[in-house]
Amino acid sequence: MPLLTMDNVTKKCKGITVLNRVNLSVNAGEIVAILGSARSDKTLLLDLITGLTKPTDGQIIYRGEPLGARPLHQYISIGIARTFHPPLLFENLTVGENVLAGTHCRGSWKLTGALHRFFAPCVRKEENLLKYIAMDCLKKAGLADKAGHQAKNLSLFEQKRLELARAIAAQPVLLLMDTPATGLDSHEQNDLKPLLKELTKSGTTIILTEENHDFIKDICTRSLLLNNGTIKPQQT
C-alpha cells in the first residue's frame, strides 16, 4: 500500500484550474522530487497535502485513510511535517527553542494546575528527555553550537537546517520540503544532501519540490514534472 496517494486531485483558484486531476503515489522510504518552473503550483501541491488549502475535487489518501479536513496541528500528530521557502521560524526564539517546539507532539503530559504539580517529577523527566532530543536533532543538522542564538540572526542555509532539525524532532513519517536548494550555493547544497539521505534511512519518506535538477539527481528515488497543472514522470 502506498504511503500517500493523490487521486484525481483538482484545485481551482478564482475559477482557474491550477491543478488538474493530479494523480500521485508515493511509497514509504522514497525521496520523490516534484519539478517544474512554476513554483507557486508546486507549493500549492504541498499545501493540499498539509491541509493549508482543500482540493476542489478528488481526494488525498495517507496510510490508507482519507486526510479530509482537520486542524493543521493534527497533521504533525499523524506524522506529516513540512519545511517552507523562505523558512518559517520563530525568529525571536533561540535555535534550541525552535527545535524544542518541534518535539511538542512527542510529549505525553498535557497537564495544568494541580495535575501538573502532582506529576511534576514525571513532567520534568519528560521535559529533560525532549531537550535531549532537540539537541540531538541540532547536532544532526550541524547547529549544536548555535543553540543559544536567535533564529533571526542565522544565515539562510542555517535557517533551512534549523527548520529541518525542527521537522526531524517531530519524528515525521512523511516530510514535505518546499524548494530546499533555493538560495543555496553548490557547497551548501552538497552539505544538505546527506541529511536527507540519512532521514530516509531512519524511516522518513520525503516529497520535495525543486527547480534545481542537479540537486535532486543523485538523492531522489524518482522525479516527476508538474507542468500545466498535471504531473508526468521524468528521469532524474
For residue 165, give every residue at least 6 positions away whose Cβ sits within 8 Å of its Cβ, in sequence order, or none. Answer: 99, 102, 137, 138, 140, 141, 143
Which of 17, 16, 83 lies closest to 49, judged by CA? Answer: 83
Confirm whether pTM is higher than 0.85: yes
- Residue ranges of domains in the chain: 1-79+172-236, 95-170
Amino acid (1-letter code) at residue 31: I
Residues 127 and 155: their CA atoms lie apart, in Å, by 29
The region of weakest confidence among 43-47, 53-57, 129-133, 205-209 is 129-133
* 69-88 tens-digit pLDDT: 777 678 888 999 999 999 99
Give the confidence band of 112 by pLDDT, cuts at 50, 70, 90: very low
What pLDDT was estimated at residue 236?
46
- Residue 62, CB half-sphere, CA atoms under 13 Å: how many? 17
At 194, give phi and psi (nearest 5°): -60, -30
Residues 41 and 50: their CA atoms lie apart, in Å, by 15
Give the confidence band of 197 by pLDDT, cuts at 50, 70, 90: very high
Residues 86 and 94: their CA atoms lie apart, in Å, by 18
If you average pLDDT over residues 81-100, what whole number do you get?
94
Give the confidence band of 226 by pLDDT, cuts at 50, 70, 90: very high
Give the confidence band of 235 by pLDDT, cuts at 50, 70, 90: low
> Do 24 and 6 meet the contact criterion of CB atoms below 8 Å apart?
yes
* 47-74 tens-digit pLDDT: 999 999 999 999 999 999 999 777 767 8
CATH number of 1-79+172-236: 3.40.50.300
Higher pLDDT residue, 149 or 118? 149
Higher pLDDT residue, 208 or 130? 208
What pLDDT was estimated at residue 139?
96
Q: What is the CA radius of gyration of the chain?
A: 19
Buried b (16+ CB within 10 A) or exposed e, 116-129: eeeeeeebeebeee
The crossing angle, in degrees rounded to 10, of helices 120-140 and 156-169 is: 140
Residues 109 and 120: their CA atoms lie apart, in Å, by 10
